[in-house]
Amino acid sequence: MTYPVWVNGVEGGSLLPSDRGLAYGDGLFETLRVENRRAVFAEAHFSRLAASAAALGIPLRQAELLAGFSRFLLSCPASCVAKIVLTRGSSGRGYLPNEEAPSTVIFSAHPLPAYPESFQSDGVVADISGLRLGLQPMLAGHKHLNRLEQVMLRREQAMLSADEMLVCDLDGHVVEGVSSNIFLVRDGELGTPLLDRAGVHGVMRGQIMAQAARLGINVTESRYAADAFLSADEVFFCNSVNGIWPVRRLPGRQWQPGPVTRQLQSFWQDALGL
């Protein structure tokens, strides 16, 4: 099985060392689940990318990107993870962008992650990270390429042998997981952290909120301390590659996957179309 990489539409193409994605993390990315050669929630991924590119002033030719990605998918394994990286292109040394420079677009395909099926069916064992996310309203919500915080978190997660971790900001408010968003369920209603100062506005998070609205389940976005999750009826992590992982253990608390989590997992299964 081959997993292609295209740079600016060229298979196996190369990247300049002066690319601002490499030099400054000056760019954005999307990670999409592909099943039967169809990218799940593709529209939501492309609209997030376009909205973030507009907010950060990164040129993006949407129609060209969509057409290129459709062609790219034809060369991918039917089931895989597809990644799109958009950078502000190349410039000279220094932070000032060259506003004339064309942006860089990288498409790459990757094997589906080999997590145990029990992560979906029984849930994950999560820890609470000792690290803190910085507060940066200017970048909050965007899936930008500056992911050093997540790299440090992922190393901590590996050291703790946790399946995921609950991650707080400098003020002690829960933001998300290491590579996922997080929800709690209390009295049949959903709650999820506000992402106005840190965190990524996950596509899966948005889809869950839309599905909850269709099901008549109330969703509150708020600032939560870790205790709110420890005392919740259900807790789950979500992202667009793995769907929904119920939490079966956090330090001092255990759960069985609950009915709201199960209901939303069936929405994810339907979206996969398997």
Q: Which residue numbers are catalytic?
A: 31, 143, 176
- Closer by beta carbon to ligand PLP, 31 or else 129: 31
Name residue 191's beta-bridge partners: 184, 220
User: Which residue number is nearest to ligand PLP in terms of Cβ?
Assistant: 202
Name residue 47's beta-bridge partners: none
Minimal distance, residue 165 CB to ligand PLP, in Å:
11
- Closer by beta carbon to ligand PLP, 6 or else 46: 46
Q: Quick one: which of 19, 127, 176, 234 contacts ligand PLP (CB under 6 A)?
A: 176
Give kind and range of the element (H or E) at residue 63: helix 62-74
Considering only residues 64 through 103, tell me which ones interact with ligand PLP, judged by CB under 6 A: none
- Contact, 73 vs 34, CB < 8 A? yes
Q: Quick one: which of 35, 135, 150, 258 contacts ligand PLP (CB under 6 A)?
A: 150
**Residue 239 is a binding residue for ligand PLP (CB under 6 A):** yes
Distance separating alpha carbons of residues 150 and 152, to the nearest angstrom? 5
Tell me the CA distances in angstroms from 37 to 30, 40, 78, 269, 272, one per residue in order: 17, 9, 4, 16, 11
Strands (DSSP E) along 49-171, which ranges? Answer: 80-87, 104-110, 124-133, 164-169
Nearest CA to 232 out of 179, 192, 194, 205 is that of 192
Number of residues that bind ligand PLP (CB under 6 A): 13
Considering only residues 196 through 225, tell me which ones interact with ligand PLP, judged by CB under 6 A: 200, 202-205
Minimal distance, residue 203 CB to ligand PLP, in Å:
4
Minimal distance, residue 186 CB to ligand PLP, in Å:
22
Minimal distance, residue 124 CB to ligand PLP, in Å:
15
**Residue 181 is a binding residue for ligand PLP (CB under 6 A):** yes
**Residue 106 is a binding residue for ligand PLP (CB under 6 A):** no
Which one of 100-108, 114-122, 174-182, 222-230 is the stretch in contact with ligand PLP (CB under 6 A)? 174-182
Amino acid letter for position 102: P
Q: Maximum distance among all alpha carbons in the chain? A: 56
Which position has the token pair 């255990």? 254
Give the pairing type, strands 38-39 and 27-35. Answer: antiparallel
**Burial of 33 per CB tally in 10 Å (0-12, 13-18, 19+):** buried
Site string for ligand PLP, 21-50 (x = CB under 6 A): ----------x-------------------
- For residue 58, the Cα-to-chain-centroid distance in whole angstroms is 20
Residues at the contact surface with ligand PLP, assessed by CB under 6 A:
31, 150, 176, 179-181, 200, 202-205, 239-240
